[in-house]
A and B are shown apart, each in its own frame.
Chain A
Amino acid sequence: GAGVSQSPSNKVTEKGKDVELRCDPISGHTALYWYRQSLGQGLEFLIYFQGNSAPDKSGLPSDRFSAERTGGSVSTLTIQRTQQEDSAVYLCASSIAGVQETQYFGPGTRLLVL
């Protein structure tokens, strides 16, 4: 595709439910990132995939958060047992081999946990 796509664009869920957020990176980009953006906060790094290397999960805030990247392309971020503080915009980005200058962001998924 022309850019990074994310789905759904909006998600409303009840506290305690699990949610899955999807990211489709730019074709040929080997690196994929997940960030969280809360009101008044900067982008918070969550997880980073680069090629076939083990993902960098150092930003995941709790064990309720996990992510997979299948076939070096599409990625899914899963939040289990959602809490109200998980409400935020979840942004995905991809880049060429992890070079920050080539990082392109998707439009984000707006998650609201009631």
Chain B
Amino acid sequence: QKEVEQDPGPLSVPEGAIVSLNCTYSNSAFQYFMWYRQYSRKGPELLMYTYSSGNKEDGRFTAQVDKSSKYISLFIRDSQPSDSATYLCAMSAKQTGANNLFFGTGTRLTVIP
């Protein structure tokens, strides 16, 4: 079983829609959760970073963590064509290091004008 599971999509939505992206995980020790956005032929860029459970909002983006269900979500409100990218979740039990950071496979999102 993979540490992190993410539906690869692809996901297509009309402009203005609310997008929900999700990941599940198996390791209950994970407490740092990240969402990255990766445009085509670019490296991932950090979008949201949360610690433990709860919600975090940044503009049109909301990250939600449910540790009891081992489930995290990223919501995008009023989606724009510029949001078209691959979204990767990542999580870790520690704040530092590298071999303890686990990534999902990414969900490819297309927002249609």
**Interface set of A (CB-CB < 8 Å, partner B):** 4, 31, 33, 40-43, 45, 48, 56, 58-59, 91, 93, 97-101, 103-108, 110
Contact = CB atoms under 8 A, between A and B. Distances in A.
By Cβ-Cβ distance, the 8 closest A-B pairs, closest first, are A105-B43, A48-B98, A42-B103, A98-B96, A43-B103, A42-B105, A101-B49, A105-B44
A45 B4 CA distance: 14
Contacts of B102: 42
Nearest to A6: B43
A96 to B, nearest CB: 10
B43 A40 contact: no
Interface in B63-107: 88, 90, 92, 95-99, 101-106
B106 A42 contact: yes
A18 to B, nearest CB: 24
A101 B26 CA distance: 22
B42 interface: yes
B90 to A, nearest CB: 8
A37 B43 CA distance: 10
Contacts of A99: 95-96
Contact of A107 (B8, B43, B106): B43
Contact of A43 (B41, B88, B95): B88
Given A40-B8, A103-B46, A105-B45, A97 B96 contact: yes
B109 interface: no
A31 B97 CA distance: 9
A98 B97 contact: yes
17 contacts: A31-B98, A42-B103, A42-B104, A43-B44, A43-B103, A48-B97, A48-B98, A91-B43, A99-B95, A100-B95, A100-B101, A101-B46, A101-B95, A104-B45, A104-B46, A105-B43, A106-B43
A43 B92 CA distance: 14
B61 interface: no
Contacts of A105: 43-45
